[in-house]
Amino acid sequence: MKKKYLNIISALMLGAATLTSCESQLNLKPISAIGTNGFYQNTQEVEAATFAMYDGLQNTVLREFAFTEMRSDNAKSKNSEGDWGQFDNMNVSPTNGTLSTYWVDCYNVIFRANKVLASLEVVTDDASKKLFESEAKFVRALMYFNLTRGFGDVPLITKVVVPGDLETTERIATNTVYQQIDQDLTEAIGSLPERGSIQEGRATKAAAQALLAKVKLTTGDFTGAKTLLEAVMGNGDYSLMENYEDVFYSELNSEIIFAIQFINDNAEESQDFSYEFTKLGKNTGLNYVTDDFKANVGAADVKRTAVLYSPDDANENGKFITSSADNRLCGNDWIVLRMADVYLMYSEAVLAGAESTTDAGAVNAYNMVRARAGMPTLDTGSTLTKQALLLERRVELGFENHRLYDLVRFGVAEEVMGAFAAANGFPFNGTKLLLPIPQREIDTSYGALKQNPGY
C-alpha cells in the first residue's frame, strides 16, 4: 500500500526489554506504577523511542470511533448489544472494557512521549534534539486533547512518574490541561519541519498548527485559530484532492496533514477496525450508518455518498473498505487532520460563535469543500449559517471521529443529542456528553481518582 514509516522494534533496535516492561505495567497496573528505569542512552535509542510514540498511536484509534461516532447521531452498532450497545445509547458503564483499554492506550502514548522528553540530554545533535522534542510534544498534546474532550478533567502527567506521584491520580481542571496542550503545540510549531523535510507519518509544522487551531476553536480563541488556519491554507504542501474517494483510498495524498498509518497483511502494523465496520466483524458490525445521518445527506450528494456508504451494504461505513488479503489485517490509515477540515474550521473561526456570517473568506472556504463534492455553493455576498456549516462538517467528515466533538464545540450537543435520544427511545442528559472514568482506574487509585457526575 505504501512504505511504512514504522516497523519500530525490529528496524531501529528499540530497547525492547525496557519498552515491553513499561507497556506491561501500563496494561496491568495503574499509571501510578510506572517506573523510571531504562532511560535511553544515545541518539539512536531516543530516535527509536520517538518512533515508538507513533506506534502507540495505532492502538488509540482502533476503537476510538466508539467514543466519538457511535456516541453521536452518526453511527451505531448493528445489533445494539452488550458493551457496544452502551455507546449507541450514550450510557457507557465505567466497567466497559473498551473504555478502560482506551484510557490505558492514551496514557501509554503519553508515557512514551514523556520518556522521549526526559531522555533528550543524551542526543548530541541539536537539530535532532529539537525535532524529537517537538514530535513528543505534538503527540502528547494530541493525546491530552482527546482525553480532555472525552473525559473532562484528567490527570496531567508531564514527566515519567514513579509510584506515589499524586499527579497520576489527581484530576486536573480542563482549562489547565488545555493550557498545557497549547504550550506543547506552540513550542512544537517552532521546531517541526515542513512536510517535504520529514518522513511521511511523522508530525509536521502544519499538523501542529492545524491541531492547535482546533484546540483554540474548542477553547473559544477564534482569532488565534484563524491565524493558524491561514498559515496552513497558505502552505503549498497541502491541497484538496480533486476526487473525494481518493482522500481515503490514495493514501498519503495532498489533502492529508496527519494520519496514523497501517499496512495490509502485517500482524504487527495492520488494523482491524475496517473489518469491524462490516457485517463480517466479530462484534457483528460497528460504526454502522444511522438513519438520522442518511436523512441529513442531500439526494444530490452522490459523490460523497458513494464513499460514505459501502457498495455492498448501504448501512455499512464505506470509508475504510479493506484491500487486504486477510480482512482482519487491514492497511487503511486513520486520518486525524486533513485540508477539508481546515477549510471548514476556518469558516468556523470567522463565524466566531455567531449564528451566521457574510465574510467572503468564510464563504469561500466553505464553498471549496462543497464544490469538490459537486454540491451547490453560496453566491458572493451570501450568508453562511452555523447550521449549514455544522451540516457540511457532518457529511464531509462523516465517520472520521469529529461529529460529537463538533456538536459540543458548536454549543448544540445537548439539543441535538437530546432530540436524537428521544427519537430513538433512550434517556439522555448533558452529563452523558462526558465519558465515565474507567472503574479500574478509580479502584487502583483507592478512590483518589473521582468519577464524573452521572455515573
pLDDT tens for each residue of 428-445: 999 999 999 999 999 999
Single pTM value for the model: 0.92
Ranges of beta strands (E only) in 79-235 are: none
Q: What is the pLDDT of residues 138-167, one digit of tens each?
A: 999 999 999 999 999 999 999 998 766 666
Q: How far apart are CA 375 and CA 298, in angstroms?
A: 9
Fold of 8-191: 1.25.40
Q: How far apart are CA 86 and CA 97, in angstroms?
A: 11
3-state DSSP percent of the chain in helix, strand and coil, to 5:
55, 5, 40
Q: What is the pLDDT of residues 335-350, one digit of tens each?
A: 999 999 999 999 999 9
User: Nearest-5° angle of CA 303, CA 307, CA 309?
Assistant: 115
Q: What is the pLDDT of residues 300-323, one digit of tens each?
A: 999 999 999 999 999 999 999 999
Residue 425: burial class (beta carbons within 10 Å; 0-12, 13-18, 19+): exposed
Q: How far apart are CA 56 and CA 39, in angstroms?
A: 18
Question: For the residues of 373-416, what is the DSSP string, one character each?
Answer: TT---PPTTPPEEHHHHHHHHHHHTTTSS-HHHHHHHTT-HHHH
Question: What does DSSP say about strands 334-338 and 256-260: parallel, antiparallel, or unpaired?
Answer: antiparallel
Mean pLDDT of 81-96: 95
Q: How far apart are CA 138 and CA 180, in angstroms?
A: 11
